[in-house]
């Protein structure tokens, strides 16, 4: 914790509203930031954190509300104006220039000059002094790109702070750092708060929130859920605030699968990738749905990408049918009959300009290789079969898939992977961005597929949905697998508990995972 926060707010955001077109993304959001405090801004995907920051720092205009800095109304229209007013922002992507020297990066636009000539030596001396204040002792004449991301982040913060910032906004600065680098950065944050800066810290990592923050503001679906003092807010309560909804107790509708009849298909041991997810164990059985739960950024997508082979693991081994295999590329995954429906349907999944039929046969064609085209008649037959089976509407195989609704696009994607007759199918947020009616249908499909003997691995933020279809739920927190719940142990509250606390439940299932 930093020094005792000044009770008078330095930055006061009141009733901020913002719409994009007809969609309201922020409703009357309030946020108070006091000098000398580190304030966490938390919320799941679509909560409106980024939009809020952008409205305050002049990237977007705002539709309603006031922003007061030090008691004066401000309305910056550009990031430069925000900076001049004293609001500095450092994004997850370091927005500096890797090809310029560290010193140039620190002072670009403000370099000391004499008769128009940049005083390089003076600039480096001042910069070195500045960086030493952050515990960095590096050669400032070397290009910034030759240093680690953590150093670059500190340089970005140093640049922002040296420009007379009074409020520092950090948008997920720790997302690409390892644990030691995170410590360095958190230390810098504490130090700056000690100097009287107000820091707004956006992150997914609750441990870091509890390590440095004084207060927490939670947003959900563009609305303010609440502001709490960090010390007075138990983790469980925080997770509940973030995930929200009326998480009534949905009981698992499924009986525990008979242990004896379960045929293991996939076995993953110690699989991990530095900076993505810590090594984990995972077993996938025929006819079983495994749910992956956790907050945004907890490593769920990273986990399934490793299982499929979309990313190359740097540790661990994978076995399919008890035979060791290497899954280092999507082609490996396809060859071992794994299927993967990614979360970003629009950018990673569908090819909007192609027809439903072409989208459905895409993965099958990829597996066969380009030299063995699927005959048109066979394509038509496959497309028709899946359109009927999954009830894709409109039932026109020749319609460009971009014209279908989200739910039907999702079904077509499912069809693409089902056409390859996979044994393990991975679904990443299968119900995201589709309407409520389609949710139920996707869930029905998941259950049917499972009954047909597929092994399913499903990532979802919808805890109540996971509870209805999963036989086993693996919970991740801060990129570590922290619990595995099975059978009757699966409930919304037990999952919430595991996300918040991270242990306890894990031991109960240690035997099942091994």
Would you tell me which residues interact with another protein (CB under 8 A)?
A: 79-80, 83, 95-100, 104, 108-109, 111, 113, 116-118, 120, 143, 159, 309, 312, 326-329, 331-332, 335
Rg of the Cα atoms in the chain: 25
DSSP three-state, residue 155: helix
Q: How far is the CB of 325 from another protein (least distance, A)?
A: 9
CB of 189 to another protein, least distance (A): 21
Closest by CA to 438, choosing from 409, 467, 470, 400, is 409
Closest distance of CB 329 from another protein, Å = 5
Give the shortest CB-162-to-another protein separation in angstroms. 13
Token pair listed for 217: 């503001």
Give the integer Cα–Cα distance in Å for 22 and 41. Answer: 25
Which is closer to another protein, CB of 334 or CB of 458?
334
Q: Which residues pair with 491 in a beta bridge?
A: 251
Pick 97 or 231: Cβ nearer another protein:
97
Closest distance of CB 163 from another protein, Å? 8
Alpha-helical segments (H) within 217-348:
235-243, 300-308, 330-335
Instruction: Give the whole-angstrom CA distance, residue 456 versus residue 461.
Output: 16
> Between residues 236 and 325, which has the closer beta carbon with respect to another protein?
325
Residue with tokens 């050669």: 139
CB closer to another protein, 109 vs 511: 109
Q: Are the beta carbons of 489 and 508 closer than 8 angstroms?
A: yes
* Nearest residue (CB) to another protein, 75 versus 440: 75
- Report strand pairing: 424-428 vs 338-341: parallel
Please provide residue 114's backbone torsions phi and psi, each rounded to the nearest 5 degrees. -130, 125
Q: How far apart are CA 511 and CA 486, in angstroms?
A: 11
Shortest distance in whole angstroms from residue 60 CB to another protein = 14
- Specify whether the CB–CB gap between 279 and 271 falls below 8 A: yes
Q: Which one, 100 or 247, has the nearer CB to another protein?
A: 100
Q: How far is the CB of 255 from another protein (least distance, A)?
A: 38
Could you give phi then psi for residue 222, rounded to 5 degrees? 80, 5
Q: Which is nearer to another protein, 156 or 463 (CB)?
A: 156
């Amino acid at each position: 914790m930093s020094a005792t926060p000044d009770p008078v707010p330095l930055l006061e955001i009141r009733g901020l509203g913002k719409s994009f077109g007809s969609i309201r993304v922020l409703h009357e959001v309030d946020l108070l930031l006091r000098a000398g405090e580190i304030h966490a801004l938390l919320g799941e995907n679509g909560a409106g954190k980024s939009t809020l920051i952008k409205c305050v720092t002049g990237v977007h205009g705002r539709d309603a509300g006031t922003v007061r800095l030090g008691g004066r109304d401000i309305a910056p229209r550009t990031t430069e104006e925000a900076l001049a007013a004293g609001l500095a922002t450092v994004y997850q992507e370091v927005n500096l220039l890797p090809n310029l020297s560290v010193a140039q990066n620190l002072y670009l636009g403000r370099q000391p000059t004499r008769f128009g000539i940049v005083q390089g030596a003076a600039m480096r001396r001042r910069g070195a002094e500045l960086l030493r204040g952050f515990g960095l002792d590096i050669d400032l004449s070397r290009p910034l790109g030759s240093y680690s991301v953590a150093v670059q982040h500190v340089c970005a913060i140093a640049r922002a702070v040296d420009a007379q910032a009074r409020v520092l906004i950090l948008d997920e600065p720790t997302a690409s750092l390892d644990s030691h680098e995170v410590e360095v950065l958190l230390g810098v944050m504490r130090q700056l708060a000690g100097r009287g800066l107000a820091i707004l810290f956006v992150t997914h990592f609750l441990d870091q929130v509890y390590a440095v923050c004084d207060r927490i503001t939670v947003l959900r679906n563009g609305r303010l859920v609440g502001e709490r003092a960090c010390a007075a807010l138990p983790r469980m309560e925080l997770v509940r605030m973030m995930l929200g909804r009326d998480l009534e107790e949905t009981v698992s509708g499924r009986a525990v699968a008979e242990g004896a009849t379960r045929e293991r298909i996939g076995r993953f041991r110690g699989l991990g990738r530095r900076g993505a997810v810590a090594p984990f164990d995972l077993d996938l059985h025929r006819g079983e749905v495994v749910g992956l739960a956790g907050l945004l950024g907890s490593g769920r997508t990273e986990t399934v990408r490793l299982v499929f082979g979309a990313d190359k693991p740097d540790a661990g081994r994978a076995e399919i049918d008890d035979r060791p295999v290497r899954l280092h590329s999507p082609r490996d995954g396809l060859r071992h009959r794994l299927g993967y429906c990614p979360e970003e349907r629009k950018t990673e999944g569908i090819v909007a300009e192609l027809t439903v039929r072409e989208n459905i046969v895409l993965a099958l064609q990829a597996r066969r290789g380009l030299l063995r085209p699927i005959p048109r008649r066979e394509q038509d037959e496959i497309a028709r079969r899946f359109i009927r089976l999954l009830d894709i509407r409109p039932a026109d195989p020749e319609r460009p898939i971009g014209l279908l609704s989200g739910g039907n696009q999702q079904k077509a994607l499912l069809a693409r992977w089902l056409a390859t007759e996979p044994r393990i199918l991975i679904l990443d947020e299968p119900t995201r961005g589709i309407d409520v009616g389609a949710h139920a249908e996707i869930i029905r499909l998941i259950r049917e597929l499972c009954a047909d003997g597929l092994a399913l691995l499903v990532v979802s933020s919808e805890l109540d949905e996971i509870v209805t279809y999963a036989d086993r739920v693996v919970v991740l927190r801060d990129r570590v697998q922290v619990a595995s719940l099975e059978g009757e142990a699966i409930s919304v509250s037990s999952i919430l508990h595991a996300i918040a606390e991270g242990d306890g439940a894990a031991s109960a299932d240690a035997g099942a995972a091994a």
